[in-house]
Chains A and B, each alone.
Chain A
Amino acid sequence: MKPKGLLYRIKKDMRKNYSLYLLVLPVFIFYLLFKYKPMYGAIIAFKRYTPTLGIEGSPWVGLENFIRFFNSVYFKRLLKNTLLLSVYSLIFGFPAPIILALLLNEVRNNKFKKLTQTVTYLPHFISLIVVTGMIVNFTMTTGVINDIIVFFGGERSPLLQNPHLYRTIYIISDIWQEVGWGSIIYLAALSGVDSQLYEAAMTDGAGKFKQLIYVTLPSIMPTIIVMLILKIGSLMSIGYEKTILLYNPSTYETADIISSYVYRIGLLEQNWSYSTAIGLFNSVINLILLTITNKLSKRLSETSLW
C-alpha cells in the first residue's frame, strides 16, 4: 500500500508544483552533470583505467588500488598529517574569526570598525600563489620574521625547513588570510542579536563579560555550530594547492598530506585509477566524520545540518 501511496503523492505534487520543478531543472541538471557524473566516473578507482578503453571499457581490478594505498609505507603518515593539520587548523583557525568578530562588535567608533574590517578582509583577496610566495620569502633566514626573532633575542633559522614548524606556519598564514573574511558571518549574526536582550541583561546588572556569556554567545551559537559542522565535514579535504606550493623534502615528514599525494600520483605520475582511489577514500572519511558530528550536534545542541 505504502509505495503506491508515495508514488501517488509524488505524482500529485508534480502536478501541483509543475512550474516550480521546471524552474529548478537547470540547477538539478547542473548537479547531475558536474557533481554526480564525476562520482560515477570515480568507479575508475576500482579499475585499471586506460584512456582508449574509456571508463566503461577499462578492466576491473577490484580493491587493488585501495589495498596498494593501505600497504604503502606512507599511508600512516599521510593519514596522520592530514588529520593533524586539519584538527590543528580547526582548533586554532576556527575560533579566530569568532574572536575577531566579538572584538569588533565592542568597537563603538564606527569609522574605526569599518576600517578594521576593510583591512582585515584584504588578505582574502590575494591569491594563494602570491601568499605562498610571500611566506617563503618572509620565513627565510634573511626574512622579516627572522629579523623580528632576532630583535627579541632569538636566533636566525630557516623556518620553512623545520618540519616541526611547518604546521604552525601553514595555520598562522591561513588565519592571517581568512580571519577577517571569516568574521563577516559572525558579525552579521551579532548584529542580528536583539538589543532588548542586552538591555534586559544590563538591568539585571550583568557586566560586559556576563553579557558575552549569557547573551552574545548563545545568540550566535547556531551559526557557530553550523559552521563547525561544515568545517568538520571537510576535515580531510584540505586542498593540495597550498601544500604543494609550500612544502619541500625536508618538511615532507609533517607536510605531505593525502591530497598532495593524490595530486602527485594522479597528475605527475599518471596513475589515474590509483589517484582516484585515494581521493575516494578521502571522501568517504569525510562523509563519516560529517555524519558523526551532525548526529552529535543534533543530540547535544539540537542544531544540525539536516
Chain B
Amino acid sequence: MKIKRSKGEIIFSGFNYILLTCIMIICLYPVWYVVVASISNSSLLTQHSGILLAPLGFSLDSYRKVFKNPMILRGYVNTLFILVTGVFLDIIMTSIGAYFLSRKGVLLKKPIMMMILFTMFFSGGMIPFYLTLKDLHMTNTLWGLVIPFMVNTYNLIILKTSFQSLPESLTEAAEIDGAGHLRILFFIILPLSKAIIAVMVLYYGVGIWNGWFWASTIIRKRELYPLQVILREILMQNDVGAMAAGVSAADQESVGMTIKYATIVVATVPILCVYPFLQKYFTKGVLIGAVKA
C-alpha cells in the first residue's frame, strides 16, 4: 500500500507518538517506583521525598527477608494450585457452556442464556453467597476458591461469540462423520480457538492470581493462604496493632518499607512473566470476542 501522507497526518503522527510515550511513562512509573524502592536502602528511602528515579543505595536485604518468611513459599504453592486447577476447570466449563450457547436449533438455549445473563446483574449478595459456600462444604479448603468461581459470565459470552464466528461447515462435516459433541468441542473447535483460549487463560489467571477477598474470608488455616492474602497481611501490618492494643503490641523493629515493596515485586512478577508468552495470541484472540451477545 502506497499512501501519500499529508502534512496534517505527519504532524498528527508525531503528536501521537509523543502522547503514547507519555502514557507509557505514566503507566510505567509507579511500577518502576516499586521496583526501585524495593532494592533501595531502607533508611535512605524513608528520608527521601520527591520523585524517585534510581535506587537509593543498593540492598537485597529486603528480598532476603521476604524469602525467609515461611508463609511466602507456602503462599506460592497454594496460589499455584488454585491457578492451575482453577484455570483448567474454568476453561473446560466455560468452553462447554459456550459451545452449548453457540449451537443452533436448540430450543431451550434462549431461556438458559437469559438465566445466565441475569446473574451478571443480579446477585444474592455477600452473606447468602457465603452461606451457600458453607452449605456445600467449600469453606476452609482451596477448592472453595476454585469451584464456586469456575464460570465467569462475561468470559462465557466472549467465548460463545468466538465459537459462533467459526465456520459452521466444519462442525456440520464432523457431525455427518458421526462425531459427538465432546469430540467436536475438544478436537475441532478448541484447536481452532487457541487464540481466544489464550485470552481466557489470561483473564482467569489474572483474576485468580490477584484475588484475595474470598480467600481471606473463607480460609482459616494459615497453611492454605494464597499469596495475595499474605501480601495483604504484610502490607497491612499497620493496622494489626489496633487489635492487640497492648503495651507492646507490635514489632520492636519496624517493618521496613522496602520489605513491603519487595513483597509486592515478589507477588507480582510471576504473573507479569506469563503475559509475554500469551501476548502473541492476544489481539487475534479478543478479535473474535468483539462481543455481540
Residues of A within 8 A of B (CB): 9-10, 13, 17, 19-21, 23-24, 26-28, 30-31, 33-42, 44-45, 49, 55, 100, 103-104, 106-108, 112, 114-130, 133-134, 138, 142, 144, 147, 176, 179-180, 184-185, 187-189, 191-192, 202, 207-208, 220, 222-223, 226-227, 230, 233-234, 237, 241, 262-263, 266-267, 272, 275-276, 279-280, 283-284, 286-287, 290, 303, 305-306
Contact = CB atoms under 8 A, between A and B. Distances in A.
A26 B99 CA distance: 13
Given A208-B9, A305-B117, 20 more contacts: A10-B108, A37-B124, A42-B128, A108-B13, A120-B27, A127-B228, A127-B231, A127-B268, A130-B235, A142-B50, A144-B33, A185-B286, A185-B291, A192-B290, A223-B290, A226-B293, A267-B126, A283-B123, A284-B122, A286-B122
Main secondary structure of the interface of B (DSSP, over half): helix
B127 interface: yes
Interface stretch (B57-65, B205-213, B240-248): B205-213
A10 B20 CA distance: 55
Contact of B30 (A13, A118, A134): A134
15 contacts: A27-B97, A31-B115, A39-B124, A41-B128, A108-B13, A118-B279, A127-B228, A130-B231, A189-B287, A233-B121, A275-B126, A283-B123, A284-B122, A287-B121, A306-B117
Contacts of A283: 121-123, 125
Given A116-B20, A144-B51, A187-B283, A27 B290 contact: no
Contacts of B81: none
B85 interface: no
Q: Would you list the 9 A-B pairs with minimal beta carbon distance, nearest first?
A: A41-B128, A38-B124, A279-B125, A13-B107, A188-B287, A188-B286, A24-B100, A27-B97, A42-B124
Task: Give the size range of B's interface with the partner.
Answer: 35 or more
A23 B100 contact: yes
B290 A103 contact: no
Contacts of A42: 124-125, 128
Interface string B67-97: 0000000000000000000000000010011
A33 B132 contact: yes
A55 B131 contact: yes
B291 A127 contact: no
Contacts, number: 256
Contact of A184 (B28, B125, B286): B286
Contacts of A130: 34, 231, 235, 264, 268
Given A20-B106, A125-B271, A133-B235, A120 B283 contact: no
A122 B123 contact: no
A284 B118 CA distance: 11
Given A31-B115, A41-B124, A103-B19, A138 B30 contact: yes
B143 interface: no
Contacts of B283: 184, 187-188, 191
A138 B271 CA distance: 24
Given A118-B276, A306-B293, A34 B49 contact: no
B235 A129 contact: yes
B3 interface: yes
B293 A287 contact: no
Given A41-B132, A208-B12, A189 B290 contact: yes
A243 to B, nearest CB: 13
Contacts of A116: 20, 23-24
Contacts of A262: 125-126
Given A116-B23, A130-B264, A19 B228 contact: no
B180 A19 contact: yes
Contact of A188 (B17, B96, B119, B290): B290
Contacts of B182: 23
Given A38-B125, A127-B267, A188-B289, A30 B28 contact: no
B272 interface: yes
Contacts of A9: 107
Contacts of B148: 34
B142 interface: no
Contacts of A241: 213
